Amino acid sequence: MRRLIPQSLFGQTLTILLAGLIVSSLVGSWIYSSDREEAVRAVGGLAVAERVINLARLVKDAPREWQTRIIEASSDNTFVVQLAANPFAATTAGNDGATAGAMKRLLVERLSLQAGEEPVVYVSSFRCEDCERGQDQPGHHEGGEGSEHASPTHEAGERPAWFAKLQISLPLEGNDWLNIATGLPEGGAMLSGRFVISMAIMAAIILAVSVWVVRRVTSPLTNLARAAHRLGEDLNSPPMPEAGTTETRQAAHAFNVMQARLRAVIDSRTKTLAAISHDFRTPLTLLRLRIENVENAAERERMLSTIADLDAMVAATLEFAGGGARQITRRRTDLTALLASIVDDLADGGLPVAMSPCQPVIHECDPVILKRAVTNLIDNAVKYGGSALVGIRDLGPQIEITVDDEGPGIPEEQLSHVLEPLYRLEESRSRETGGMGLGLAIALSIVRAHDGKFLLSNRPVGGLRAAILLPHSQPGRAPRKKP
């Protein structure tokens, strides 16, 4: 059920509007049909009553020999008139007592009938099976001469399966009864062709207007989400246009202010770290010069190694700290060739690095910083796993770059922690391996800047696998430019 509900604000708002439109249309149609049927029956019933009253006056005032001719001339398939010795038989099934009583009072009043001359009136409904089967023929509701079931007919296909029948018996002189059977006008089918077409046209117009209005109201929120996504990738992305409703303008203004403040904080942090790095490296340089005068060669090498470690720590910290403000410039790059160049350079330096045979894979990326991420992973694999095997695959929706080693792997509970800045496993805290725990954190930052994912997992055959998943470039996406 949850899958059928739209997840976007636009879809949910439009669904609510459409549901309200459908419910209101159905209720309105029901009210309209009910009122229309009552109005039609009331007007039609009054017309039938007037016809009965006029005929009754004419028959009463006519001589006996003219009554039969008048009755024969007045009777037809829809208005059956008979001169009989008895009134219509009592009808209880489906009898509409309220309508019959109103008709009876009207006849008594208009014909000035006295006590004992009250007419017999029945208004009933019955189901016509021939109408339901579509086999109705003109005159098939009409009974035979003198039949107590005589009822008006209708043209084929013109009346519904339920038929409203009016039976009136008026007393005449000589104990005769004037029996009249006719039908009361029905309201007709609720869903006529014109009604359905008009409702469809109105629904289409309201739907089009609703879509336009909802899209206009929700589009600023979509722009806000896109701006937030751009901000996560580039702090120097252009600010949001402050347009739309009062609330959306306020949200856009607050977002632009937040972006400006974040940019100021990052710039201030970068400048501060650059100043500290500069000031920190000056005494390191002086120490390096003074250490050159130390006569003990072994002690001198240990001091120089310590200074080199401090210098590397400063450089790594500065690189990681500046990663939040880094901008990337995408261009079409053969990732297979890029990885092959990295592997060749490291292998020429004597490191145990190899690459699996791979097909060319073209991707839009920043090759400079992506090379830095892959180099960090290979360096990490060689230091802690003894070797590195690099591979790349095009999986369709994304590209997978893998770096495998043959080391002991990482405990499962620490796989997520090693990606945190300055986090190191206990085994890595040695002068031989070195490192500050920033290599994987820097790689993670670079991968995220490319909208990708970075995963670490222990291989079933032993060792650790570091995987970079890069989504295929979006068509037509403009590359970011450096200021």
Q: Residue 478: what pLDDT?
A: 38
Tell me 323's DSSP state: G
Q: Residue 405: what pLDDT?
A: 92
The CATH class of the 216-325 domain is mainly alpha
Which token pair is 318? 């500065």
Show the low-confidence residues of the chain (pLDDT under 70). Answer: 1-7, 9, 34-42, 90-96, 125-164, 185-192, 232-234, 313, 316-328, 421-437, 473-483
Q: Are strands 464-471 and 79-84 parallel, antiparallel or unpaired?
A: unpaired
Q: Return d(Cα 422, Cα 432) in angstroms, integer.
A: 18
Q: Residue 194: what pLDDT?
A: 75
b or e along 298-328 (b: 16 or more beta carbons within 10 Å of the residue's beta carbon)? eeeeebeeebeeebeebebbbebbebebbbb
CATH fold for domain 327-471: Heat Shock Protein 90 (3.30.565)
CB atoms within 10 A of CB 217: 16
CB 325 within 8 A of CB 233: no
Q: Residue 142: what pLDDT?
A: 45
CB 424 within 8 A of CB 441: no
- Which tens digit of pLDDT belongs to each residue from 93-121? 566 677 778 888 888 888 887 777 778 88
Domains 216-325 and 327-471 share a fold: no
CB atoms within 10 A of CB 378: 24
Our separate counts of H helices and E strands in the chain read 10, 11
How do the domains of the chain map onto residue ranges? 2-183, 216-325, 327-471
- Can you list the alpha helix ranges (DSSP code H) found in 127-187? 129-132
First to last CA, the chain: 49
Q: Residue 335: what pLDDT?
A: 93
Phi and psi at 415, nearest 5°, equal -60, -40
CB 186 within 8 A of CB 37: yes
Q: Residue 479: what pLDDT?
A: 39
As a whole number of Å, the CA-based R_g of the chain is 47
Phi and psi at 420, nearest 5°, equal -75, 145
Q: Which helix (H) or strand (E) segment is 170 a member of? A: strand 162-171
Largest CA distance in the chain: 157
Sheet with 177-183, strands from edge to edge, namely 79-84, 177-183, 162-171, 120-127
